[in-house]
């Protein structure tokens, strides 16, 4: 294994609940009831690449795409002043850097917003490669973002582990030729759907990260004594 690639929202940072409250508040301003099922369908998509249009169309909102996206980021920013890394994330990334593994972020979030979140959580300086939603043409589940990340890392998909929390994200990684994808659970996704999408192992943090590190350290010991 040469590199580890992390999705950001829902994997490195617990932002899904903030997105949920953001959409809920905005929709309430137009007397539109919030739908958890519809929200789950959006996970892993990029607002600027069809996500916002899909919401506007679904709920017949009197806003254009630009207005709606600006409103989302404004409300999200208000709700996310105290962002923290998910439990076990910081320890995992530090351990990987000590093992001289390449570490990357492949997120559907646009660059400016993603950098702000990574800065707030203290994660920004740990990554060898960061690829953002506005640096690719197509959103997950299209493999473009992962193909781009692999190219920047200079590694093959068979030599990479990915951490994702959405069906779209898992499919994106697998479609890019990545064999091992870990499904990161939270309160707004479902283990069975992640497994059906192709995740090899599914668990909540910090257990999923500690399990992964145990496997890595075991491999390192085997390599040392072989």
Domain with residue 150: its CATH number is 3.40.50.1000
Provide the 8-state DSSP code for 185: P
Cβ atoms 101, 77 nearer than 8 A = no
Could you list the residue range(s) of the whole structural domain that residue 23 is in? 16-79
* Domain end position, chosen among 38, 54, 79: 79
Q: How many domains does the chain have?
A: 2
Cβ atoms 43, 141 nearer than 8 A = no
Q: List active site positions.
A: 7
Chain center to CA of 155? 20
State whether 95 and 190 are in the same domain.
Answer: yes
State whether 119 and 198 are in the same domain.
Answer: yes
The pLDDT assigned to 23 comes to 86
Any idea which residue has 């479902």 for tokens? 190
* Domain end position, chosen among 53, 79, 105: 79
- Reported as a single tens digit per residue, the pLDDT across 12-35 is 998 878 888 888 899 999 998 887
pLDDT tier, 171 (very low <50, low <70, confident <90, very high otherwise): very high
State whether 52 and 103 are in the same domain.
Answer: no
State whether 119 and 89 are in the same domain.
Answer: yes
State whether 123 and 182 are in the same domain.
Answer: yes
State whether 141 and 204 are in the same domain.
Answer: yes
Within 81-166, residue ranges assigned H as helices are: 89-98, 111-120, 144-153
The arithmetic mean of pLDDT across residues 162-172, rounded, is: 96
Q: What count of other Cβ atoms lies within 10 Å of the Cβ of residue 14?
A: 20
Provide the 8-state DSSP code for 13: B
pLDDT tier, 222 (very low <50, low <70, confident <90, very high otherwise): low
Burial class (CB in 10 A: 0-12, 13-18, 19+), 57: exposed
State whether 90 and 155 are in the same domain.
Answer: yes
* Domain end position, chosen among 61, 79, 97: 79
- Reported as a single tens digit per residue, the pLDDT across 30-82 is 998 887 777 777 766 777 777 888 889 988 999 999 999 899 889 988 888 77
pLDDT tier, 224 (very low <50, low <70, confident <90, very high otherwise): very low
* pLDDT at 197 exceeding the cut of 80: yes
The pLDDT assigned to 204 comes to 96
CA-closest candidate to residue 183, choices 172, 175, 167, 174: 167
Output the CA angle 78-83-87, nearest 5 degrees. Answer: 155
State whether 39 and 117 are in the same domain.
Answer: no
Output the CA angle 170-176-178, nearest 5 degrees. Answer: 70
State whether 73 and 91 are in the same domain.
Answer: no
State whether 89 and 75 are in the same domain.
Answer: no
The pLDDT assigned to 226 comes to 40
Output the CA angle 3-149-224, nearest 5 degrees. Answer: 10
State whether 139 and 123 are in the same domain.
Answer: yes
Whole-number Å distance between alpha carbons of 109 and 166: 14
The pLDDT assigned to 210 comes to 94
Mention every residue, 6+ apart, whose C-beta is less than 8 A from residue 155.
Answer: 2, 3, 102
State whether 69 and 42 are in the same domain.
Answer: yes
* pLDDT at 225 exceeding the cut of 70: no
Tell me the three-class secondary structure of 211-226, residue by residue.
HHHHHHHHHHHHHHHC
CA-closest candidate to residue 194, choices 64, 55, 10: 10
The token pair at 6 is 């992390």
């Amino acid at each position: 294994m040469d590199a580890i690639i992390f999705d950001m929202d829902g994997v490195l940072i617990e932002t899904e609940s903030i997105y949920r409250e953001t959409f809920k508040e905005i929709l309430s301003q137009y007397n539109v009831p919030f739908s958890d099922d519809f929200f789950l369908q959006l996970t892993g998509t990029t607002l600027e690449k069809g996500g916002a249009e899909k919401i506007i169309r679904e709920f017949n909102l009197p806003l254009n795409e630009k207005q709606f996206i600006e409103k989302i980021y404004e409300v999200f920013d208000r709700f996310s002043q105290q962002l923290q890394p998910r439990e076990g994330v910081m320890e995992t990334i530090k351990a990987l850097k000590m093992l001289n593994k390449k570490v990357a972020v492949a997120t559907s979030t646009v660059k400016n917003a993603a950098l702000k979140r990574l800065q707030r959580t203290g994660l920004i300086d740990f990554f060898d490669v960061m690829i953002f939603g506005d640096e690719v043409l197509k959103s997950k589940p299209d493999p473009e973002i992962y193909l781009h990340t692999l190219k920047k890392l200079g590694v093959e998909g068979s030599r990479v582990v990915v951490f994702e929390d959405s069906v779209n994200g898992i499919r994106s990684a697998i479609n890019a030729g990545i064999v091992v994808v870990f499904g990161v659970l939270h309160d707004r996704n479902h283990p069975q759907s992640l497994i059906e999408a192709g995740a090899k192992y599914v668990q909540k943090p910090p257990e999923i990260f500690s399990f992964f590190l145990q496997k890595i350290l075991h491999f390192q010991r085997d390599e040392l004594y072989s």
